[in-house]
Structure 1
Amino acid sequence: MRHILIIFSLFLFSFIIFSCSEKEESSTTPTTSSPLFVSVGNSGTILTSSDGTTWTSKTSGTTEDLYGVTYANSTFVVVGTSGTILTSSDGTTWTSRTSGTSNYLANVTYANSTFVTVGDNATGSGTILTSTDATTWTSRTSGTTRRLTELTYANSIFIIVGYEGTILTSSDGITWVDRSWSSRLNRFNGVTYANSIFVVTGSAG
């Protein structure tokens, strides 16, 4: 199973993923025998590196801005503006997938045998898409018109956060429950889990 390290960048590249092929008891098959970093960013930018020092530009096939990337089931998945979803088995050759939406997709994760990506449209309507294979994607009812920015999975729960104090939870990625913060002045941009605690971060207003 490939270990994934996601590094959030404050500058051009939205995310960097590191994957290595240390073998564990798992059904996941490594795609290469060498470590691989994948970084995505503006105007369809995808860079890869085996050491984090020397980077190579890859052809993404899109000029859309790319914001989220994850790796699971021997597949890299990248999401971005205009409903862009790209997949790759090796980080070099990328295939565009039909998302069924033109909405901005902010982030993507994988857990519980499901890929989940979140985002919004120009009016702020919350968007959630799921897939079991990263190829066919299904829109899910978010129950909110607010923008969704980040998600995580831990303790058998998916958690999505977003604008105006939005917090959504789901056990399967399909049915979502609104747990939003009472103050709608908060804009949540991050969520993580550690030491038996979920932590949400953001700003007021």
Structure 2
Amino acid sequence: MSAKHTLLALSLSMPACSLYLPGDTGDEDSNGSADDNLYIAVGDQGALLSSPDGATWTTRTSGTTVALNDIAHGDGRYVAVGQAGKILVSEDGIMWDPADSPSSRDLFAVVHHIDRFYAVGGDYSAGAETLESMDGTTWTRPEIPQLDFLLADLASDGNQLVAIGTSQSDLQIFGLFTWPQGGPQDSNVAAGWTQRVDGTGLSLRYKAIAAGAPAFVTIGPGGSASSTDAITWTQAPIFEAAAMRGLTYTQQGWIAVGDTGKILFSGDGAQWVAQDSGHAGQLLGITTSGSLHLAVGADGALLSSSDGVLWLPQQSPLSVDLRAVTHPRG
């Protein structure tokens, strides 16, 4: 791959575990008050953790045994999504309730966009799953043409909603899609997702996407791509062997996390510098409160940093893989 940025090709026409009930004694904070300004981490076996400061973590009762793959905050509530269409909702990050999900398919990403939550997932045999909810509790499936893709991540800048995923389990062909800007009330919603990047024939394996400045960045093994409008994307190589799996935008710039404890920093979403995390395990998710960045990963890994350069391990109450983390200010 050339070191020069390359304009990506665009295509507008392509379409047995036991019950896990953590925190039996921790579902009420010592002061008895609810707090919606928490870090919330989710993961395998229904793992749910909360922390007010990124250092002290409390297990919370999820009531499920399935893996929770992603977590988002919006409109005063947290929403977690996972395997077999599982969706959980909480107004305080402490007490969690099951949501009314119309899906039994795996959900991999959730985000709050404009006035509602969106969740995506699916599989390679049946294609994409897209769900929406005004309150995080009652979910519906929009009547749209289904993509022949497994959708793995979502990002919103408050204007555009972008999804990424792959088709064909053997080839892992990358695709990037945008949602109608007006949302479900838009007259163009019947068209559903519009493909903006077609990875057919290209070595694209982007795993994570986030919104910031520029508007969007997506990253994966060997490269990243950025866009100011979610339509035209500029590719940049990353000369690191580790696959990057989580991405967020902070006051300092972009931070990505991935395999073998790798953490990358970028001021522009194109030039990336490796940081020493002091951690050798896989990192899967990252968020920020503005003043503190928090990464999570395999075997309950928790790492925090105030500047994106110096990372400190935090004591985790769980040893299962943590797949995602969020904060209301993130």
Return the offset for 1:75.
Answer: 2.8
- Asked if residue 189 in structure 1 is aligned to residue 323 in structure 2, the reply is yes
Match of 1:202 in 2: none
Q: Determine if the alignment matches structure 1 residue 117 to structure 2 residue 256.
A: yes
Give 1:189 shift. Answer: 1.2
What whole-Å deviation, never above 9, does each CA across 1:39-98 have from its counterpart, x for those lacking one?
A: 111122101122443321112554433321112123310112x23311111111111112
Match of 2:307 among 168, 172, 189: 172
Please, what TM-score do these two structures have when normalized by structure 2? 0.48
Residue of structure 1 in register with 2:195 after alignment? 57
Distance 1:118 1:75, change over 3 A: same
Q: CA contact under 8 A between 1:148 and 1:166: conserved in structure 2?
A: yes
Aligned residue for 1:10?
A: 121
Q: State the 1:162 CA deviation.
A: 0.5
Q: Is the 8 A contact 1:151 1:160 kept in 2?
A: yes
**Equivalences for residues 56-205 of structure 1 within 5 A:** 56-60=194-198, 62-80=202-220, 82-120=221-259, 125-154=260-289, 156-181=291-316, 185-194=319-328
Distance 2:177 2:206 in 1: 12
Q: Residue 178 and residue 104 in structure 1: after superposition, are their counterparts in 2 closer, same or farther (change >3 A)?
A: same
Unaligned runs of 5+ in 2: 1-73, 75-110, 123-149, 167-172, 184-188
Could you tell me how far 1:182 is from its partner in structure 2? 5.8
Would you say 1:46 and 2:193 are equivalent positions? no
**RMSD, matched Cα:** 2.4
Aligned length: 173
Tell me, which stretches of 5 or more residues in structure 1 are unaligned? 21-34, 197-205
- TM-score, normalising length: structure 1: 0.75
Higher relative contact order (CA 8 A, sep 6+): 2
SS of residue in 2 equivalent to 1:44: strand
For the residue of structure 2 that corresponds to 1:164, the secondary structure is helix
Q: Secondary structure at the match of 2:269?
A: coil
Which whole-Å deviations, capped at 9, do the CAs of 1:21-49 have from their partners, x for residues lacking one? xxxxxxxxxxxxxx322111112210112
Identical aligned pairs, as a percentage?
A: 25
- Check conservation: 1:45, 1:65, Cα contact below 8 A: no
Tell me the CA shift for residue 10 of structure 1: 3.1
* Distance (whole Å) between structure 2 residues aligned to residue 85 and residue 14 of structure 1: 16
1:102-160 superposed Cα distances (whole Å, 9 cap, x missing partner)? 3211111001231001111xxxx111000111121100111111000011101611000
1:86 and 1:128 map into 2 onto residues whose CA distance is 17
Q: Which amino acid aligns with 2:205?
A: D
How has the CA–CA distance of structure 1 residues 169 and 92 changed in structure 2, closer, same or farther, with 3 Å as cutoff?
same
Asked if 1 retains the 8 angstrom alpha-carbon contact of 2:293 and 2:306, the reply is yes
Give the conservation status (yes or no) of the 8 Å contact 2:247–2:254: yes
1-structure distance, mates of 2:175, 2:236:
17
> Are 1:37 and 2:161 an aligned pair?
yes
- Superposition deviation, residue 8 in structure 1: 4.9
Cα distance in 2 for partners of 1:58, 1:41 equals 12
> Quick one: distance in 2 between partners of 1:8 and 1:96?
26
